[in-house]
């Protein structure tokens, strides 16, 4: 009987081992935004394609990610949305327990930039009414895969040349891939310098979905 119990725990430990790597966690977070090629994942995680492939192999062995072929490309995706929930819950637990992580997060976003404690349903209601503009500053393909309701896509690298499209009369709520992503922070800083009222929403699509809130896709 002990042999059976040991085997059961060993199987569960495979999941723990597969996510016991900072880069593999980052790859999971990137895949929360939608399916991607290994080349794209390597570039966004700032590692070599060879290393990205090795990390993805480990995630596949743990059945956390899957692949499909499209022409000559292999696209990686999360095996299910429960993997995204695993990432969100693991990160949230680490933030709750680890002072070091709390301090690191505090250094990312200046005081007053985050909508911490604000009811997300209120944000949704205001966005629907046009009282605020929810701005998705991720790459357009990530927006197409999944985005917050009523959000508008305006990738960070395009904001400067498209500022004229934004009204200064409507407050802006900018978001990207989640609490560890810096694109929304950079967007808010740029917008404020140009006279826009902008704040940073730490949620990404994975966090929003984990809260039980709706997600939209571009058709």
pLDDT at 219: 60
Write out the H or E segment, with its range, that includes residue 185: helix 183-193
Looking at residue 114, what is its pLDDT?
Answer: 63
Task: Report the alpha-carbon distance of residue 52 to residue 44 in Å, rounded.
Answer: 10
pTM summary value: 0.94
Q: Is 146 helix (H, G, I), strand (E, B) or coil?
A: coil
Which tens digit of pLDDT belongs to each residue from 116-161? 667 888 999 999 999 999 999 999 999 999 999 999 999 999 999 9
Q: Could you say which of 31, 176, 183, 198 is catalytic? A: 176
Do 29 and 76 touch, CB atoms closer than 8 A?
A: no
Residue with tokens 């985050």: 114
Give the SS3 label for residue 64.
coil
Which residues share a beta bridge with 134?
Answer: 173
Position 107 scores a pLDDT of 82
Cα distance between residue 51 and residue 155, in whole Å: 27
Q: What does DSSP say about strands 73-78 and 65-70: parallel, antiparallel, or unpaired?
A: antiparallel
- Whole-angstrom distance, CA of residue 56 vs CA of residue 23: 10
Contact of 65 with 184, CB cutoff 8 Å: no
Low-confidence ranges of the chain (pLDDT < 70): 110-117, 219
Respond yes or no: is residue 181 known to be catalytic.
no
Percent helix, strand, coil in the chain, to 5, is 55, 15, 35
């Amino acid at each position: 009987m002990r042999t059976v119990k040991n085997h059961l725990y060993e199987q569960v430990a495979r999941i723990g081992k597969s996510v016991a790597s900072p880069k593999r966690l980052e790859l999971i977070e990137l895949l929360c935004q939608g399916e991607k090629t290994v080349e794209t994942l390597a570039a966004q995680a700032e590692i070599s394609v060879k290393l990205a492939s090795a990390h993805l192999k480990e995630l596949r062995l743990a059945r956390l990610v899957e692949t499909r072929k499209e022409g000559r490309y292999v696209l990686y995706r999360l095996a299910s949305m429960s993997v995204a929930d695993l990432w969100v819950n693991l990160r949230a637990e680490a933030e709750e327990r680890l002072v070091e992580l709390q301090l690191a997060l505090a250094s990312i976003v200046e005081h007053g930039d985050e909508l911490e404690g604000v009811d997300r349903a209120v944000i949704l209601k205001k966005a629907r009414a046009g009282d605020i503009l929810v701005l998705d500053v991720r790459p357009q393909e990530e927006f197409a895969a999944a985005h917050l309701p009523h959000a508008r896509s305006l990738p960070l690298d395009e904001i400067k040349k498209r500022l004229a499209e934004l009204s200064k009369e409507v407050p802006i709520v900018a978001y990207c891939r989640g609490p560890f992503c810096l694109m929304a922070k950079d967007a808010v800083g740029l917008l404020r310098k140009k006279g826009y009222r902008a704040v940073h929403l730490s949620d990404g699509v994975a966090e929003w979905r984990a809260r039980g809130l709706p997600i939209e896709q571009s058709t």
